[in-house]
Amino acid sequence: MKSLITSDFMDEPKTIANLIATLPQQGKLEWIGLSSARKAPITTVSEVLIEVGTGLKGDRHALKGRGKRQVTLIQAEHLPVIASMAGRERVGPEEVRRNLVVRGINLLALKDRRFMVGDVELEYTGTCDPCSRMEKNLGPGGYNAMRFHGGITARVITGGTVRIGAIVRVSQDS
């Protein structure tokens, strides 16, 4: 049985599937980070070339050609939540070691979709679960502070250069 949602402000009932398929929000790219090697410091850049089949040029994941984890993304809105759960005033994007920080779009709503970051098309491949390094970076409990707030992973469909300020939106082909 399909679940229906009705409301005075809707003209017709919508199924949960219809609601999931509706994602008109757009986000904005706020930060880009690269790590040249495992445990190497994160370098913040204002733009980066994203290549099909590998990911961000100069990032360690791209150097390995990792299939499902070519690009990692996290929501800017989750950084204060992670900080609060870790008992800290602030958590910076370099501490959570993701490639892209975006604001204004629910990354988990991109599940099973292709999406655009500027002119680059990516495809959701899964959640970006935390690793044990979060205990070192964020302190005791850092791993658990990141659980379900670690963002997503994606593979590159169409490459190109992305810059801070790029719009993040669902691909028209999704």
Q: Is the pLDDT of residue 64 over 50?
A: yes
Name the band, by pLDDT with cuts 50, 70 and 90, for residue 109.
Answer: very high
The pTM of the whole model exceeds 0.85 = yes
Of the candidates 27, 71, 73, the residue with the CA atom closest to the CA atom of residue 49: 71
Helix, strand, or coil (residue 82): helix
Highest CATH level, class, for 25-170? mainly beta
Rounded to whole angstroms, what are the CA distances from 17 to 13, 23, 83, 152? Answer: 12, 12, 33, 21
- pLDDT the model gives residue 65: 61
Could you tell me the residue ranges of all domains in the chain?
Answer: 25-170
Q: What percent of the chain has pLDDT over 90?
A: 73
Rounded CA-CA distance 44/174 in Å is 30
DSSP state of 56: E
Q: What percent of the chain has pLDDT over 70?
A: 89
Q: Is the pLDDT of residue 174 over 90?
A: no
